[in-house]
Structure 1
């Protein structure tokens, strides 16, 4: 295990990478952000100019649960203020005691199945998960082919995703207060959030990333205690990440490139950890791990676009899959147990995690 990683200059971000950030006026995403900020300032209607979506209203139509089996309950909420359905899947560990809960956001073109492998491991360790599916950037976009998928990696969709998370937190806290079924087990003071790829960008936004655009909406959610970003990226600038002060775990690897863009390795993803303020951050770097290694299984979007572009998966991620999965499960589980439950044994284990390969890296700062 190397103590400090080699730092190569981060390549220029491809527009296909789902990480809306702003840097200069010529950047198309900055222009989109500024247009929406101007629409808010001038009071122009959303229908006319596509202004930023409003934050979800507290009230919602909670839909009946679609299924409940083996600790897993599934259904959807309806956000009246945005006329938007939000599918969800709640996975609870065995027992009837109170639990910490992690909200999980899937990657571009994904679904409720994204991150299932991680959620199952967390459930075995006594942690609950709430998976959300985001209309407009979920698996339905594949019907339009690669152009539709790339178009979905937008500032507009990031905003919708963040509001989905805010709305979901409002609902789960309300249901918990009402002692409604399985929601009564959730500990409101022990909430975390994680996401893969575009879900990692959603996680950074909810954690408090500042997009440095006048009039932009607040995408943060104060109820979360800690975060984990699987395959994050900074986009066109890292400045706004410096404002994230709550604990953040970044997970990436040597082959964790952009499935739809130019970057073929994961070095550019290191910039997220580097930009975070010192004190409550951590990073797991896995040699030989690619973008699919961090998806958690069951998610079409994790590698489907790459295959459509004719990019075969390298052998290393498949050969090392068991090793990578075991480390991701053990380290993220200890991360949640330490940061959400103040488990001192988990904190001690994270000082020197077991099982790291000679070129894997674990950093805390």
Structure 2
């Protein structure tokens, strides 16, 4: 049991909880974080960025858990902790295995709940959100209605999940095709999202200095999930933020190029307020969404 570094309740985290996953080639390892008190707790299923794992994103997972959410983090097959060879036959469909991981978590909530001492009977299964960073944003987006043209089957399948009521997409890729660099088009053929059917309410978070090496368009590319999707959406644009958005990927992790504790604290506050609003828990989104002018802006549709 640990106490959050930010204001909030003490939390408990259990890892790994192992889910059998026939056809995946590896069991699915999951981390569950939850407040030690409270009932009817809403759930966030979080998808990590490429190469990361259940061990990352403490600044978000700990904060959300300390403020009343159960946060569930699967480790996807592209994680460095799995060590999948480049020539593994599963590689072309890593994006699809990720979505299946998220759905498996939703299917096995009873087991995950039972794995955390004292959590039994405290989940609110009617209030579930999907969130993700970078590649994980596309994964979460699939559950919201985003569709991918599978590079293997050449089909575009609806993988949305009615159990997901809201989403948070952090530093998530935009359109494919001519918007990709030649390297991205060659090595990441699944980066061709269609946002036209992503109707579930979502908050899109983008940095105005996140100049991705995967796109020729610059930072505006990361706002596509907002502008190209229908339905209720909000966009948080963070001034000066690069791909790590100030340090959400972990505490003092080397991959953070724009370390900014004030920015991370802002993301914590805004994402919490949005999720509480979108899931019908509290109506403080308007009050909480006012930003210091030097930090960024929020727009909604």
Structures share fold, TM-score greater than 0.5: yes
Q: Work out whether 1:282 is the aligned partner of 2:234.
A: yes
User: C-alpha separation between the residues in 2 aligned to 1:179 and 1:91?
Assistant: 8
Task: Please state how far the C-alpha of 1:70 moved relative to its aligned partner.
Answer: 4.8
> Where does structure 1 lack aligned partners over 5 or more consecutive residues?
1-68, 305-312
Partner of 1:82: 24
Q: Which of the residues 35, 40, 64 maps onto 1:93?
A: 35
1:140–1:212 distance in 2 versus 1, CA, 3 Å:
closer
Task: Please state how far the C-alpha of 1:359 moved relative to its aligned partner.
Answer: 6.3
Deviation per residue, 1:26-68 (Å, 9 max, x gap): xxxxxxxxxxxxxxxxxxxxxxxxxxxxxxxxxxxxxxxxxxx
Secondary structure at the aligned position of 2:208 is classed as: strand
Q: CA RMSD in A?
A: 3.3
1:181–1:126 distance in 2 versus 1, CA, 3 Å:
closer
Q: Which of the residues 149, 158, 168 maps onto 1:228?
A: 168
Q: TM-score, normalised by structure 1?
A: 0.66
User: C-alpha separation between the residues in 2 aligned to 1:294 and 1:227?
Assistant: 20
Q: Say which one has the larger Rg.
A: 1
Deviation per residue, 1:145-187 (Å, 9 max, x gap): xxx59x9996510000000111110000566699995253111
C-alpha contact 2:175 2:194 (8 A) present in aligned 1: no
Which one has a larger percent helix, Structure 1 or Structure 2? 1
Q: Which of the residues 221, 228, 237 maps onto 1:268?
A: 221
1:124–1:300 distance in 2 versus 1, CA, 3 Å:
closer
Q: Work out whether 1:348 is the aligned partner of 2:286.
A: yes
Q: TM-score, normalised by structure 2?
A: 0.79
Secondary structure at the aligned position of 1:224 is classed as: coil
User: When the two structures are aligned, how many residues end up with a matched partner?
Assistant: 274
Tell which has more relative contact order, 1 or 2 (C-alpha 8 A, sep 6+).
Answer: 1
> Where does structure 2 lack aligned partners over 5 or more consecutive residues?
1-9, 178-191
1:291–1:79 distance in 2 versus 1, CA, 3 Å:
same
Partner of 1:249: 203
